[in-house]
Chains A and B, each alone.
Chain A
């Protein structure tokens, strides 16, 4: 492997890391602004012009808060919990294609940290590891409420992972590949997967709400029953890491939604732009389009949070196991029948 590839990939990884952090930071501001807008308030407007420096002030506040530790025999695990939550939230971005090929300095640069065959499976693997951050943190807090919150959040994530995986299988049957780059290339122009797999998209969307522990599925955090849920005992930046991880994973799951179902960096007329304006400009527009889609999904998350009331815990489990999983299995069967319709017609003798 030559050193240019290593430099190129490191730059991409660093930039993606920085962008994820900035997006997560400003999602906190956006959430408060959108909440204010939906509730007919002004929202944070003191730090900077229109509250633009609010995330920095929040970060500074979290850093300078007193670091409290409960009297726990598992001090190491207590520190590991937020670390796992944060790193799993950031790891997923490695396989996401942020743009098509750039032609710079006489070589093609693909805006993707690693183009592995099993990108989609990799994302599921990271998602399933993410539960550990919550479980370990909640258990190591040595507090009943933390443990109950952790078990709630964990069982919710495990249950919705199944429906999420099954909804993905229907998409995979159609695309025939697990590589996110190839899935993006297949959706060239306006051939977005959402038009072919609307049910799969709906199930995936609902499950990603549950995976990120967002309202209407944020039952892990419940003042009247469980205080703060799994991060009751956390303070200072350890608490900040849990909150930050939630926003980072919200950004990442919006990205996955955009890439899988809404064409990623594709936009109508991309081939025309490549022909007339060149590869680089067409791709710059593509990156902009991808980020517009991501921002829309982040807005959607917040819109839902401030519009829809939350579920009860048994309703949540019923929805996951008794509605979403059978629905996604039906979706798989319909997809199979549609893919094999010619063979079935021949078999039945039409």
Chain B
């Protein structure tokens, strides 16, 4: 069932949410559809910022700020670097064979299925946390929960990042020796 919001009686938070959601979706679509790769990247940056705004609406300052630092401040900057230094003109655009396009569509559908299943099956555990009465937006509590209750997944995430980092170093080293 589609819930149609009542705009005449919407609260401030709802109005801000609608505005942010509009910007997020619009810029996300523009990121895909715009011809210029740099414009795409910049639209994606705006989209990330509005997602940070969504986090703020959900009262999680820490997540919003970390999102800005990591995604807008680090990852997208490196993206921009790479795109600016590469000469992405129409002439030297790589021709993609049809099989890659097919592969892209199939993998997109698979990711969609996984995501939908996650959203259907995930049980929000927010209720349990509200019952304890602690402020789970403050980083003090967040840090304690992450390093006690979720210690193992937290450490695994860091191992994953370390592996990715070593892999990148290995790849970039290999290219140099070949030259």
Residues of A with Cβ closer than 8 Å to B?
A: 77, 116-118, 121-122, 124-125, 127-129, 131-132, 135-136, 139, 147, 150-151, 154-155, 158, 161, 178
Contacts and interface: CB of A to CB of B under 8 A. Distances in A.
Contact of B84 (A132, A135, A178): A135
B81 interface: yes
A155 B82 CA distance: 11
A124 B77 contact: no
Given A121-B66, A151-B85, A155-B81, A136 B42 contact: yes
B74 A128 contact: yes
Given A77-B42, A139-B38, A154-B80, 16 more contacts: A116-B61, A117-B138, A118-B65, A121-B62, A121-B65, A124-B73, A125-B69, A128-B68, A135-B77, A136-B42, A139-B80, A147-B84, A151-B84, A158-B77, A158-B78, A161-B73
Nearest to B69: A125
B77 A128 contact: yes
B162 to A, nearest CB: 14
Interface string B54-71: 000000011001101100
Contact of A128 (B38, B61, B72, B139): B72
Given A121-B66, A139-B84, A158-B78, A129 B73 contact: yes
A132 B38 CA distance: 12
Contact of B139 (A117, A136, A147, A158): A117
27 contacts: A117-B61, A118-B62, A121-B62, A121-B66, A122-B65, A124-B69, A124-B73, A127-B73, A128-B68, A128-B69, A128-B72, A128-B74, A129-B68, A129-B72, A131-B77, A135-B77, A135-B81, A136-B42, A139-B38, A139-B80, A150-B84, A151-B81, A151-B85, A154-B80, A158-B74, A158-B78, A178-B139
A203 B73 CA distance: 21
B21 to A, nearest CB: 22
A158 B78 CA distance: 9
Contacts of A121: 62, 65-66, 69
Interface string B118-139: 0000000000000000000011
B81 A154 contact: yes
Nearest to B73: A128
Interface in B74-95: 74, 77-78, 80-81, 84-85
Contacts of B81: 135, 151, 154-155
B20 interface: no
A163 to B, nearest CB: 14
